[in-house]
Structure 1
Amino acid sequence: MTDPTTASRPRQAVILAGGQGSRLRPYTDDRPKPMVEIPGTGTPIIGHQLTWLAEAGVSDVVVSCGHLAEVLQEWLDSADLPVAVTTVVETEPLGRGGGLKYAAAHLPRPDRPWYATNGDIWTRFPLRDMADFHTERDAAATLALARPRIPWGAVQTDGFGHITDFIEAPPSPFEVNAGVYVFSPGFADLLPERGDHERTTFPRLARERRLAGFPLPQGAYWRAIDTAKDLREAAKELAGLAR
């Protein structure tokens, strides 16, 4: 007998890979952001993402392309990929919510749940656990939640205003949207044709208690690759993990 939890885990995903990555220049002068390589790995960000999705049982991925789409498509066509990949290109800017809806329309199984991730996220955590969390809460959408490190040193004080400690780059006291999602089959119908789902769909689902948040497990690796500094930090962190 098939475990109902296992049966509800997504086997399809969307990667949003259309951003211009202006803060990552000059790396993005000739390639889209997801095609930037993590130093020392020899593989672009999207290559690591596809491997991670395949390890979670995903067999089909739709990649939403935009800026320098042909560079990404050429790499996908030539690479030995662990999943079947379909690419879509917006003919006009649709916004993040509209772009997600457009990409979801090309998923092979619209009646099944799906993962989604931003194309600049470099992370490793058990996606299957997140999918089970989503199912248990009967949510329309579940967001992964991260606590990124604050890039400055923090100061700790006591009740009298005396400084008691200095903490270098502490974790944020707030959780942030980690850019990785699990969506139920009907979620795409809730997305706007144009615009940002984080200003429309997500707030509405939160008010209806249909939006869940999955905290990344302690010790899970997560980083959004937005700047050249992020690339350098990711390379150092990976070197540390390898030791």
Structure 2
Amino acid sequence: MKALILVGGYGTRLRPLTLTKPKPLVEFCNKPMVLHQIEALAEVGVTHVILAVSYLSDMLQREMEVEAKRLGIKITISQETEPLGTAGPLALARDHLQVENEPFFVLNSDVICEFPFNDMIKFHKEHNCEGTIVFLLAGPLALARDHLQVENEPFFVLNSDVICEFPFNDMIKFHKEHNCEGTIVVTKVDEPSKYGVVVYEQNTGKIDRFVEKPREYVSNKINAGLYIFNPAILNRIELRPTSIEKEIFPAMASDKQLYAFELKGFWMDVGQPKDYLTGMGLYLNFARSSMPDRLSRDNGTVGNVLVDPTAKIGERCRIGPNVVIGPRVIIQDGVCLKNCTILADSLVKSHSWIANCIIGWRCNIGQWVRMENTSVLGLDVSVQDELFINGGIILPHKAISESVSEPKILI
């Protein structure tokens, strides 16, 4: 089985981190975002993953060659030379997706959830139509057409910044049961009026229509950025900028070829700093119940804390709750960290206090620094002693010598 992961965006919402590294390679809970999805796909038998990319593809190619060998799968880079919307990459990968005439997954690369792929497969097979939504995108599909059509089997499509439990086996089962063109994963939200919602039959999952930001309640389920499609969907998509949500999905629903698979458990689009931190907390809570051995139980940790084995933490620190510390990070004595992530090779000197922040790679935080309010530091930023950083977005290679009392971007 195959999967297409949509990583074509420039990651502007997650800058300054994405100024020096493509968003799919930005670490989320000590693992590149896209690797959460690729590993979950490999576990359910996906043997070929296509990445629809538009920038920094050389860096992504090098990293993925290593991971492909480790996982024993094939990873193909499908390059967009111009923006193709959310469906075009499917057409571009057509030859890869159509080979075995089986359903395929489509994912957004920045979505983190429990990834219910097995449930999706089961559900998609039950309705036996073109598509199932876990509630994307048409240009990348057209671009990947040659990859997706090779074996004429269903394929996954994923948004690259989604994090969840990835229930791929359940998705496959569901998709094969309905036997239509598509399965879309949908997730429940508290304020549906802020989103485009999906209206579908509760007993079967068959999608009736889509409603954009409804003023009155019609549904509280939204597109979660995970899909399985049969290769037949590629015949609906031309190699041009195309919105799968606005052009392709409504047509599939009208033809009764699209089904919704309800996601259980946590879900978050982690494509911007505030949501990244929220998603980190959800993921760590999930890890507490599903893989508790990964979390730290050392003295000084409070709540859910993930620490890379190569990191060093000093004495009399208070770490947590909801903290991730990356490889080779050094935390000196008396440091307090809450709801934050410290990326690889950074140094936090003694008695500093950091809350609700993302500290980029190779940063140097001085003594007695206070940092809060979703501050984000890019690569190789240094902050002098005794400064206050309040909501600062600091670009790579900056040396900060004055406090930032109000949220702003430091270029």
Is the shorter-chain TM-score for this pair beyond 0.5, marking a shared fold? yes
**Larger relative strand fraction:** 2
- Residues 168-207 of structure 1 aligned to structure 2 (within 5 Å): 174-194=220-240, 195-207=242-254
Match of 1:54 in 2: 42
Give yes or no for the alignment of 1:63 onto 2:51: yes
Number of residue-to-residue matches in the alignment: 209
CA shift, 1:72, in A, is 1.2
**Following TM superposition, where does structure 1 have runs of at least 4 consecutive aligned residues deviating by more than 4 angstroms?**
none
CA shift digits 1:205-232 (9 cap, x unpaired):
1111111111112xx2211112111221
Distance 1:225 1:72 in 2: 19
* d(CA) in 2 for partners of 1:147, 1:74: 37
Task: Quote the Cα distance in structure 2 between the aligned partners of 1:43 and 1:107.
Answer: 27
Q: Contact between 1:24 and 1:226, CA under 8 Å: does it hold in 2?
A: yes
After superposition, the Cα gap between the structure-2 partners of 1:35 and 1:199, relative to the gap in structure 1 and judged at 3 Å, is same
Is the 1:120–1:224 contact (alpha carbons within 8 Å) kept by the matching residues of 2?
yes
Q: Which runs of 5+ in 1 are unaligned?
A: 1-10, 151-172
Partner of 2:279: 234
* C-alpha displacement of 1:54: 1.0
CA contact (8 A) 2:129 2:259 kept: yes
Aligned in 2, Cα 1:148/1:32: closer, same or farther, shift over 3 Å? farther
CA–CA distance in 2 between the matches of 1:179 and 1:110? 24
Residue 125 of structure 2 aligns to a residue in which SS?
A: helix
Q: In structure 1, give the amino acid aligned to 2:236.
A: L
Larger radius of gyration: 2
Q: Could you tell me whether the CA contact under 8 Å between 2:54 and 2:79 is conserved in 1?
A: yes
**Aligned mate of 1:119, from 94, 106, 109:** 109
8 A contact 2:4–2:105 mirrored in 1: yes
User: Partner of 2:188 in structure 1?
Assistant: 147
Q: 1:82 to 1:48 in 2, by over 3 A?
A: farther
Across the aligned residues of Structure 1 and Structure 2, the Cα RMSD in angstroms comes to: 2.1
Moved more, 134-143 or 96-105: 96-105
Deviates more, 1:233-242 or 1:192-201: 233-242
Classify the secondary structure of the residue corresponding to 2:17: coil
Offset of residue 66 of structure 1: 1.0
Is 1:223 the counterpart of 2:268? The answer is yes
Q: Using the alignment, how far apart are the partners of 1:237 and 1:190 within structure 2?
A: 37
Tell me the alpha carbon deviations over residues 3-47 of structure 1, each in whole angstroms, 9 at most, x when there is no partner.
xxxxxxxx1111111111111111111122211111xx3211111
CA gap 1:110/1:198 in 2 versus in 1, 3 angstroms: farther
Q: Is contact 1:61–1:107 with CA below 8 Å preserved after alignment?
A: no
Residues 116, 237 of structure 1: alpha-carbon distance in 2 compared, 3 angstrom cutoff: same
Partner residue in 2 for 1:211: 258
Write the letter of the residue equivalent to 2:250. P
Question: Alpha-carbon deviations, 1:47-66, whole Å to 9, x = none?
Answer: 11101111122111111111
Contact 1:56 / 1:126 at 8 angstroms: preserved in 2? no
After superposition, the C-alpha distances for 1:111-160 in whole angstroms (9 at most, x for unaligned) are 2211110111112133121112111112101100011455xxxxxxxxxx
- Taking a change above 3 Å as real, the CA distance of residues 108 and 136 of structure 1, as seen in their structure-2 partners, is closer
% of aligned pairs identical? 34
| Aligned with residue 7 of structure 2, among 1, 17, 21 | 17
Q: TM-score, normalised by structure 1?
A: 0.79
Aligned amino acid, residue 85 of structure 1: I
2:62 maps to a residue whose letter is E
- CA distance in 2 between partners of 1:84 and 1:56 (Å): 14
**Contact 2:110 / 2:270 at 8 angstroms: preserved in 1?**
yes
CA contact (8 A) 2:267 2:279 kept: no
Query: Which amino acid in 2 is paired with 1:60?
Result: H
Given the superposition, is the C-alpha separation of residues 26 and 149 from structure 1 closer, same or farther in structure 2, using an over 3 Å criterion? farther
Deviation of 1:81 after TM superposition, in Å, equals 3.3
Q: TM-score, structure 2 length as denominator?
A: 0.48
Which runs of structure 2 are paired with 1:89-108 in the superposition (5 Å)? 89-107=79-97
